[in-house]
Amino acid sequence: MADINIRKDRLAGRITFTRPQALNALSHAMALAIDEALEGWRDDPKVRLVIIDAEGDRAFCAGGDIAAVYRAGLSGDHQVGRDFFRDEYRMNAKIADFPKPIVAFMQGFVMGGGVGVGGHASSRVVCESTQIAMPEAGIGLIPDVGGSWLLGHAPGRVGEYLGLTSGRMGPGDAIFAGFADTYLPEAEWPALIELLAETGDISLVKGGPRPDAPLERMDLAAFGGRTVAEIIASLEAAGDERALKPLLRNSPLSMAATLALVRAARGDRSVRDSLAREYRFTFRATAESDFLEGVRAQIIDKDREPKWAADPSDGHVRALLEPLGDDDLKWEDAE
């Protein structure tokens, strides 16, 4: 496949995103290819570890390629999105639960679907250019691909802050928040990848001191509010315009659902529980949320002026997160 290069390299399974012109956006076909590769390598004695990296200097993976989901949803076909999210989430879980080490080298933009691939690896390497974010509330969706799990397990109220504001993390913040493990300048990556492929020795992944993490010094007490309205009121009272601005811009429904998802994830046993809950929202997203309008405004027409219309009430959020019955996310290894 032209968009992804999957091969065995000595003792390593190798997955490389190869569509830098599209910021290595993850398509449905790419998600299926990753899943198939991992399935084949799980019991392959010649593969001791997996290395995931990407071509280009702008992005590891800037998100999911959702143009097809948008077009289908606009025409009333909601199954295209449901199939994409289902298969993507199964792949995310496979990365998180893989029995062999997976090392992800994440440069540049790592957003949405990119976090779903790199953020669940057992060893996550970042560099000076890394910018990680879950910006879904800005397109009328929710932090999915296991994003609610990562946000829910970030320290303090960092998860609520990042999920509601779509805030970006540099390498220091990413390590502090639990989205990455190791800082290593990108110039040193090729030599490490060579060593990993040659030896299969995960202990060789070592980096330097963690860069500065501004998040560690921020007062995020306002994000402990019970509702988005309470959080906004607290930010207004504190005069925190920087944090307030994105909350007045993002989808009210998406933020309300994000708050529920992040807090629910704190009680989950594994990322699979969080993914299953996220799927309940994304299964319904093209029909019952602000998602199509958000994609139109931010990605298709790029006028950056979404007209949010979906009901953000507690009742609607609960309805969107209700079990799907026979359509609930199922795991291949449990079927």
Which one is catalytic: 53, 144, 278, 290? 144
What average pLDDT does range 81-102 have in this prediction? 98
Place of tokens 């397990």: 153
Q: Mark whether 113 is an active-site residue.
A: yes
Question: What pLDDT sits at residue 32?
Answer: 98
pLDDT band at 333 (very low <50, low <70, confident <90, very high): low
Residue 335 has pLDDT above 60, yes or no: no
In this prediction, what percent of the chain has a pLDDT beyond 90?
A: 97
**Structural domain count, the chain:** 1
Per-residue model confidence (pLDDT) at position 214:
97
For residue 140, is pLDDT > 90?
yes
The Cα 178–Cα 162 span in angstroms is 12
Mean of pLDDT values over 212-229: 97
> Over 50: is that where the pLDDT of 113 sits?
yes
Question: Residue 334: what pLDDT?
Answer: 53
Helix, strand and coil content of the chain, in percent to the nearest 5, comes to: 50, 15, 35
> Which residue among the candidates 35, 65, 136, 173 is catalytic per the annotation?
136
d(CA 317, CA 320) in angstroms, rounded, equals 5
| 301 is a catalytic site residue | no
Burial 280-299 (b: 16+ CB within 10 A, else e): bbbbbbbebbbbbbbbbbbe
The 3-state DSSP class for residue 169 equals: strand
- Residue 105 and residue 203: Cα distance in Å, rounded? 15
> Does the pLDDT value for residue 306 go beyond 60?
yes
Structure-token pair, residue 128: 């000076």
- Read off the pLDDT band of 332 (50, 70, 90): confident
Question: What is the model's pLDDT at position 328?
Answer: 97
Could you tell me if residue 146 is left (phi over 0), alpha (psi between -120 and 50 degrees) or otherwise beta?
left
Tell whether the model's pLDDT for residue 317 goes beyond 90. Answer: yes
Instruction: Check which CATH number belongs to the domain holding 32 and give it.
Output: 3.90.226.10
Of 73, 113, 114, 116, the active-site residue reads: 113
Res. 56 pLDDT band, cuts 50 70 90: very high
Residue of 287, 269, 156 whose CA lies nearest to 213:
156
Average pLDDT, the chain: 97
Domain of residue 100, residue span:
4-334
- Give Cα 161 to chain centroid, integer Å: 15
Task: Give the pLDDT score at 293.
Answer: 97
Of the residues 13, 53, 63, 64, which is catalytic? Answer: 64
DSSP string, 312-333: -SHHHHHHHTS--GGGS---GG
pLDDT tens digits for 240-284?
A: 999 999 999 999 999 999 999 999 999 999 999 999 999 999 999
